[in-house]
Amino acid sequence: MLRAYKFLIVPVLQQIDEDGHVSGELEPRSPDVAFGLDGLQAYVDGFAEALLAKEASILNGARSD
């Protein structure tokens, strides 16, 4: 019997300029980890919100320089 135990997820995010062109990519230094199918589903369900938080963090960091 096999079961899904752990997923290593490397989300690659594109930076888009005002014209819709890709200006760069961001990816974490280490993968995100989700355990089992339920963990993977929870990761996917929360990804859009986490992406918005990441974008806000980047924008806030850029404004404080």
Convert the pLDDT of each residue in 6-50 to its tens digit. 999 999 989 899 999 999 998 889 999 999 999 999 999 999 998
C-beta separation of 43 from 34 below 8 A: yes
Domain assignment present for residue 1? The answer is no
CA distance 37 to 54: 24
pLDDT at 62: 63
Q: What is the domain count for the chain?
A: 1
CB atoms within 10 A of CB 32: 13
The answer on pLDDT for 64 being more than 50 is no
Domain that holds residue 57: 6-63
CA distance 13 to 25: 6
Can you say whether residue 13 is alpha, beta or left, with left for phi > 0 and alpha for psi between -120 and 50 degrees?
A: beta
Domain assignment present for residue 39? The answer is yes
Domain assignment present for residue 27? The answer is yes
